[in-house]
């Protein structure tokens, strides 16, 4: 039995696999980078289980090239837009993800980006480090307050709801949400108002994206949609980069048509749109939404559990295909 792990995960994953599947050959990508297509095929060809990440584009051809032995793909992520689910299904391969466990960690980052953008924390840190802070002054480095503002949540899943609850109960914010479906729990628990996307953008002081990447959400926030936002508004994206037209965002930030943006994901990740890194009114994080020790350990365990279940003839948890 051969199990391949495409990127270093917390040690708990390999330890669990070794205990549950004695004698199994467990191999790990030895490089501190993602493998390219040819490298991945060479390294993982013939594997029974593949533990991957969202950075591994597993299309139909690559899945076929990995060989007929492949029985399970366990991705260390909630999203699985990088995996051709139909191709996996056609070949009888189970695909599993890691939902739920990263809700709190990602919500923390989204809320943190709202606060950091509104109060201009990163700019203030840079100013102070450069020796430009000469003492308190009434007009020095003013930002925007957060308490009592309107927060628009795009995508009504677990993470979006946790962000909404934090902003509602912690900061007394009004909550708007945009979703394909009604969510009575949002309205009852958070006094949230469901609105169309354009209205949400026009009314919100903070817009936080929490929708999956699908053909319908690709460039959901394009140049025209960004024009609807307030010039004092903050955009936060901890979902998927291509939900936002990143070049249009650069232009909106450069022209101060919106106040600021906080990004943890990017359209051409890890590359940034030209000009993005030069802007003072954007905070750029290296996709760390789920990057707490506790969360990443549990995500690794969930991947291992899925692989173990399939390879021992059981139905795996969190199967998406």
Distance CA 16, CA 308 (A): 9
Write out pLDDT tens, residues 43-78: 999 999 999 999 999 999 999 999 999 999 999 999
Q: Quick one: pLDDT at residue 319?
A: 98
Could you say which of 64, 91, 269, 319 is catalytic? 269
pTM: 0.93
**pLDDT at residue 81, as a whole number:** 93
Q: How far is CA 206 from CA 99, 111, 141, 224, 287, in A?
A: 25, 10, 20, 18, 20
* Residue 318 lies inside a defined structural domain of this protein: no
**pLDDT above 90 coverage of the chain, percent:** 100
- 307 φ/ψ angles, rounded to the nearest 5 degrees: -65, -45
Residues 113 and 53 in one domain: no
Average pLDDT over residues 113-139: 97
Q: Is there a catalytic annotation at residue 287? A: yes
143 CB contacts (<8 Å, ≥6 apart)? 118, 119, 120
- The stretch 139-161 carries a mean pLDDT of 97
Instruction: Say if residue 191 is in the same domain as residue 51.
Output: no
The parent domain of residue 253 ranges over 103-284
Answer yes or no: do 77 and 212 share one domain.
no
Helix (H, G, I), strand (E, B) or coil at 244: strand
Phi and psi for 17 in degrees, rounded to 5?
Answer: -60, -45
- Do both 67 and 162 map to the same domain? no
Average pLDDT, the chain: 97
- Binned at pLDDT 50, 70 and 90, residue 246 comes out as very high
The reply to whether 175 and 226 lie within a common domain is: yes
Report if residue 319 sits inside a domain: no
166 and 234 assigned to the same domain: yes
Task: CATH number of the domain at 155, please.
Answer: 3.40.50.720
Domain co-membership, 53 together with 158: no
Residue 172 sits in the same domain as residue 262: yes
Is residue 80 domain-shared with residue 133, that is, in the same domain? no
Reply yes or no: is the peptide bond before residue 295 cis, omega within 30 of 0.
no
Q: Give the whole-number percent of the chain exceeding pLDDT 70.
A: 100
Domain count, the chain: 2
Selecting among 158, 240, 296, 301, the annotated active-site residue is 240
Indicate whether 321 belongs to any domain.
no
Among residues 144, 219, 257, 287, which one is catalytic?
A: 287
Whether residue 320 is contained in a domain is answered as no
Tell whether 207 and 305 lie within a shared domain: no
The band of 230, judged by pLDDT with boundaries at 50, 70 and 90, is very high
């Amino acid at each position: 039995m051969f199990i391949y792990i495409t990127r270093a995960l917390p040690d708990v994953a390999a330890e669990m696999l070794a205990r549950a599947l004695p004698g199994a050959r467990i191999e790990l990508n030895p490089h501190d980078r993602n493998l390219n297509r040819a490298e991945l095929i060479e390294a993982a060809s013939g594997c029974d289980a593949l533990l991957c990440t969202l950075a591994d584009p597993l299309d139909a051809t690559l899945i076929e090239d990995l060989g007929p032995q492949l029985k399970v793909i366990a991705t260390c992520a909630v999203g699985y837009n990088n995996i051709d689910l139909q191709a996996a299904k056609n070949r009888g391969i189970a695909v599993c993800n890691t939902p739920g466990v990263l809700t709190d960690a990602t919500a923390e980052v989204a809320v943190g980006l709202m606060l950091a953008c509104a109060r201009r924390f990163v700019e203030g840190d840079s100013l102070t480090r450069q020796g430009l802070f000469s003492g308190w002054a009434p007009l020095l480095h003013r930002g925007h307050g957060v308490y009592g503002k309107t927060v628009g949540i795009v995508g009504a899943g677990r993470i979006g709801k946790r962000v909404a609850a934090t902003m509602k109960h912690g900061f007394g914010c009004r909550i708007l949400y945009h979703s394909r479906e009604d969510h009575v729990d949002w309205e009852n628990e958070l006094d949230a108002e469901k609105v169309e996307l354009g209205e949400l953008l026009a009314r919100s002081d903070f817009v936080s994206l929490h929708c999956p990447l699908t053909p319908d959400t690709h460039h959901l926030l394009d140049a025209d949609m960004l024009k609807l936002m307030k010039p004092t508004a903050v955009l936060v994206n901890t979902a998927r980069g291509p939900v936002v037209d990143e070049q249009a965002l650069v232009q909106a930030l450069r022209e101060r048509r919106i106040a600021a943006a906080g990004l943890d994901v990017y359209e051409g990740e890890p590359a940034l749109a030209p000009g993005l890194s030069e802007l003072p009114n954007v905070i750029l994080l290296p996709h760390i939404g789920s990057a707490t020790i506790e969360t990443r350990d549990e995500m690794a365990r969930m991947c291992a559990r899925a692989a173990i279940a399939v390879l021992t003839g059981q139905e795996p948890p969190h199967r998406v295909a």
